[in-house]
């Protein structure tokens, strides 16, 4: 059993009812530079946390390196949905279906499980049409379609593609160890919400991975560098596929035009890459609440001076928002704690 540092992490987000502090969220974050130096952090940088869906930008690197991605005629749009944690909107369902059609498979091959659409309007539409959610609505369905494509091209068993012992998952593990700068034996293996293998590791290494995604030159491997550039290009070109309507990941990359690359993960994880700085950032909200990590991400970007005034204003609703009750009345607000950058 791995135990966390008993020292409490700092409060990063406050929730107010009227003017009274009602609740708060503790957490930690790390910022690393091009040289892998920790240049700013709060809380425990060595805190072990599962990467969750922030891992998705790396899980399809083996498929692209194998040559299968191009051989099967996949596009940047296909790559974006493979990297997504999507809302299950119609555009996402269509994109996942397109990936499956290119390998002559249907939704029955996906083993991610059924999940209802993230937006209430989409779920209501299903009910109105007397339909049930299906595996395509699962936020990880694109990732699983990409896994299946890898298996089909490389003639691997598709029935056990989620087993940690499967060749595909072993290849992914090697890539994760490389980018996260850890030995494979030090990766804590767990199972994600979509049943795919996932890895637990220090928060610091999660920041290092996102730095490496936009600064892979350290390995002097032009092919690997090209693959990383391709992944970044795809998520910037199709930000709406990565999350969807009202989602921080999509808004962030669309509004900054790729100046900042972001990816959420369940249980309060958020990771960012800053391509022009070659920096990586990782965030973990201790209580696992989804939402506070976006407020912290925005606050960090503000204090690092990485957003223009226009970008700051366009994303401000993710940093501070009103708490609305069932009658539609504002009863308080939530905002990130104001941080002080050390440089």
Q: What is the pLDDT of residue 219?
A: 87
- Contacts of residue 101, defined as CB under 8 A and 6 or more positions apart, other chains included, come to none
Domain encompassing residue 100: 11-336
Give Rg (Cα) of the chain. 20
Residue 38 pairs with which residues in a beta bridge? 32
Task: Give the separation between CA 106 and CA 168, rounded to whole angstroms.
Answer: 20
Nearest to 58 by CA among 154, 175, 151, 220: 175
Q: What is the pLDDT of residue 2?
A: 57
Q: Judge whether 4 lies within some domain.
A: no
Q: Judge whether 5 lies within some domain.
A: no
Element (H, E) at 287: none
Q: Judge whether 73 lies within some domain.
A: yes
Contact 22, 15 (CB under 8 A): yes
Q: Judge whether 181 lies within some domain.
A: yes
- Count CB atoms within 10 A of the CB of residue 297: 27
Helix-strand-coil percent breakdown of the chain, rounded to 5?
45, 20, 40
Q: Judge whether 231 lies within some domain.
A: yes
Coil, helix or strand at residue 11 = strand
Q: Judge whether 18 lies within some domain.
A: yes
Q: Judge whether 281 lies within some domain.
A: yes
How many folded domains does the chain comprise? 1
With helix as H, strand as E and coil as C, how does 68-94 read? HHHHCCCCHHHHHHHCCCCCCCHHHHH
Tell me the CATH number at 196. 3.40.710
In eight-state DSSP terms, residue 238 is -
270: which 2 tokens? 């958020």
- First and final CA of the chain: distance in angstroms? 37
Greatest alpha-carbon span in the chain: 61
Task: Give the separation between CA 327 and CA 324, rounded to whole angstroms.
Answer: 8
In eight-state DSSP terms, residue 243 is S
> Tens-of-pLDDT digits for all 343 residues of the chain?
555 556 899 999 999 999 999 999 999 999 999 999 999 999 999 999 999 999 999 999 999 999 999 999 999 999 999 999 999 999 999 999 999 999 999 999 999 999 999 999 999 999 999 999 999 999 999 999 999 999 999 999 999 999 999 999 999 999 999 999 999 999 999 999 999 999 999 999 999 999 999 999 888 999 999 999 999 999 999 999 999 999 999 999 999 999 999 999 999 999 999 999 999 999 999 999 999 999 999 999 999 999 999 999 999 999 999 999 999 999 999 999 999 998 8
Q: Judge whether 343 lies within some domain.
A: no
Coil, helix or strand at residue 318 = helix
Measured in degrees and rounded to the nearest 5, phi and psi for residue 37 equal -85, 140
Q: What is the pLDDT of residue 7?
A: 83
Contact 320, 306 (CB under 8 A): no
Task: Give the separation between CA 250 and CA 85, rounded to whole angstroms.
Answer: 10
Q: Is the dihedral of CA 200, 190, 226, 283 positive or negative?
A: negative
Nearest to 314 by CA among 241, 254, 236: 254
């Amino acid at each position: 059993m791995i135990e966390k540092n008993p020292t409490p992490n700092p409060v990063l987000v406050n929730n107010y009812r009227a003017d009274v502090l009602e609740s708060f969220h503790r957490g930690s974050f790390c910022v690393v530079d091009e040289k892998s130096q920790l240049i700013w952090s709060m809380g425990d940088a060595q805190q072990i946390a599962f990467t969750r869906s922030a891992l998705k930008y790396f899980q399809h690197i083996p498929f692209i390196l194998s040559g299968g991605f191009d051989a099967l005629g996949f596009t940047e749009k296909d790559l974006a949905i493979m990297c997504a944690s999507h809302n299950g909107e119609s555009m996402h369902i269509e994109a996942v279906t397109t990936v499956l059609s290119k390998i002559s498979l249907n939704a029955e091959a996906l083993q991610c499980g059924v999940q209802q659409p993230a937006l209430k309007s989409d779920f209501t539409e299903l009910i109105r049409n007397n339909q049930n959610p299906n595996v395509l609505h699962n936020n990880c369905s694109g990732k699983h379609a990409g896994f299946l494509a890898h298996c089909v091209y490389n003639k691997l068993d598709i029935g056990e593609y989620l087993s940690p012992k499967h060749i595909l998952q072993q290849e992914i593990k090697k890539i994760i160890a490389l980018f996260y700068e850890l030995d494979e034996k030090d990766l804590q293996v767990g199972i994600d919400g979509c049943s795919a293998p996932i890895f637990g590791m220090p928060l610091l290494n999660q920041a290092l991975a996102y730095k490496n995604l936009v600064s892979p030159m350290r390995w002097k491997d032009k092919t690997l560098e090209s693959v990383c550039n391709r992944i970044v290009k795809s998520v910037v070109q199709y930000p709406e596929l990565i999350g969807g309507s009202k989602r921080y990941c999509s808004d962030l990359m669309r509004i900054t035009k790729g100046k900042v690359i972001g990816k959420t993960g369940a249980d309060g994880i958020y990771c960012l890459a800053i391509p022009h700085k070659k920096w990586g950032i990782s965030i973990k909200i201790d209580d696992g609440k989804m939402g506070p990590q976006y407020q912290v991400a925005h606050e960090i970007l503000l204090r690092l001076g990485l957003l223009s005034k226009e970008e700051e204003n366009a994303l401000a609703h993710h940093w501070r928002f009103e708490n609305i009750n069932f009658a539609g009345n504002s009863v308080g607000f939530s905002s990130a704690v104001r941080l002080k950058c050390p440089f």
